[in-house]
Amino acid sequence: MDYTITLLQAKAQSSGPFGNSTTLVFLGLMIVVFWLFFIRPQAKRAKNQKKFIEDLQKGSKIVTIAGIHGTINKVNEDGTLSIEISPGSYIKIEKSAISMDWTAALNKPAAAEKK
């Protein structure tokens, strides 16, 4: 029993001259770094995706996350889009199924040609 108490006392005394405050500072720094490199960029990307989806309108060329290319024919009130994938062929998809990255890549050459 005395041996266990002696080990616990030795462990408590070996925390250094600053005590446990150093551990708390490192824990705080780890939380800040985690927030800066993981949470903040993801929130920024989600905000950009939401703005992109809100800005969709009739006639926009899009690519879905499944790789389907089409042109928006109608923006519905229930959060869906009617897109024309070939002349006379229409499908109904969710707005969240639009790939922001692939759509930007599709429209980039078109924007370069207009200038």
Kindly report the CATH number that applies to the domain delimited by 57-114.
2.30.30.140
Per the CB < 8 A criterion, the answer to whether 59 and 98 are in contact is no
| Banded model confidence at residue 4, pLDDT cuts 50, 70, 90 | low
Domain ranges of the chain: 2-50, 57-114
- pLDDT, one tens digit per residue, over 15-63 is 556 667 888 888 899 999 988 888 889 899 999 989 998 888 899 899 9
The residues with which 71 forms a beta bridge, in sequence order, are 61, 84
Structure tokens at 85: 């994938």
